[in-house]
Amino acid sequence: MIWCLVYFAFHFFERSRNEEIKNLRLEAMRTEVELNNLKSQLNPHFMFNSMNSIRALIDENPVIAKESITKLSNILRNTLLMGRKRLVGIEEELSLVEDYLRLEQVRYEERLRAKVEMDPSCIGCLIPPLMVQTLVENGIKHGISKLPLGGEINVIVSRTDRMLSISVENTGTLSGSDNPQSTGIGIANTRQRLELIYEGKATFDLFASDGKVHAHITLPIQNNL
């Protein structure tokens, strides 16, 4: 009897300790993924190039120069604040993406053509913050900025009953050959975040066809309401 008690007590403690270690590990992984995400968001190359174009615009077109400063501030603020939240509304995310695209258009001018479309029924659906933004940045960095004549980038958000679908497509090819490392980090991070938050219920695909690169995410709908 006593022996049994000791035996079960031992196993009980052993199990709870293992459980605790597992939880801590998961927690650490979460923190690391979020940290990587934040790091990849504060893209200094984008910031400094934008400020440089704005400086030239001050002489050329003061109105757009002022607008651009507001947009850049929005992006900075959102990157700092949204990064701390677990989930944000898709409409909030898309307004950040639009600000970002307008700024990149100031920089790339006619080389960047962009379109953002969302079915109104998607308003209120929650997504991990900066997830669409990361994909759009990747599309510009690895796609459009490599093309002398530029290209287009389209963001399309739609839904079914249970799933939200986000698709980002840009002109370009999926050649990791010139800089395989950088293509990997943003993508791996997106995958990890989806896995941690949705535990296998979200999907992420990246593929090239017809001279375009498509990034496609589906995730279960969680509502704001």
Partner 1 sequence: MKAIIIDDERLARKELRSLLNKYHEIEIVDECANAGEALSSIDNHHPELIFLDIQMPGHNGFELLNQLDHVPKVIFVTAYDEYAIRAFEVNALDYLLKPVNPERLDEAIAKVSRSKSSFSQSIPTEEATHKLTENDQIFLKDGEKCWFTSLKDVRMFESEGNYVRVYFNEYKPLVLKSLNSLEERLDPKVYFRANRKFIINLKWVSGIENWFNGGLQVQLRGGDKIEISRRQAARFRDLMSL
The site for partner 1 (CB under 8 A) is made up of 44-45, 47-49, 51-53, 55-57, 59-60, 106-109, 145-148
* Identity of the residue, 97 or 106, whose beta carbon is nearer to partner 1 in the bound complex: 106
Q: Shortest approach of partner 1 to residue 52 CB, angstroms?
A: 4
* Identity of the residue, 45 or 85, whose beta carbon is nearer to partner 1 in the bound complex: 45
β-pairing verdict for 112-118 and 151-159: parallel
* Identity of the residue, 128 or 143, whose beta carbon is nearer to partner 1 in the bound complex: 143
Q: Shortest approach of partner 1 to residue 109 CB, angstroms?
A: 6
Specify the residue for token string 């701390």: 84
126-161: b (≥16 Cβ within 10 Å) or e = bbbbbbbbbbbbbbbbbbbbbeeebbbbbbebebee
* Identity of the residue, 123 or 147, whose beta carbon is nearer to partner 1 in the bound complex: 147
Q: Shortest approach of partner 1 to residue 23 CB, angstroms?
A: 36
Cα–Cα dist 145/149, whole Å: 9
DSSP string, 49-90: HHHHHHHHHHHH-HHHHHHHHHHHHHHHHHHHHHTTSS-EEH
Q: Shortest approach of partner 1 to residue 129 CB, angstroms?
A: 24
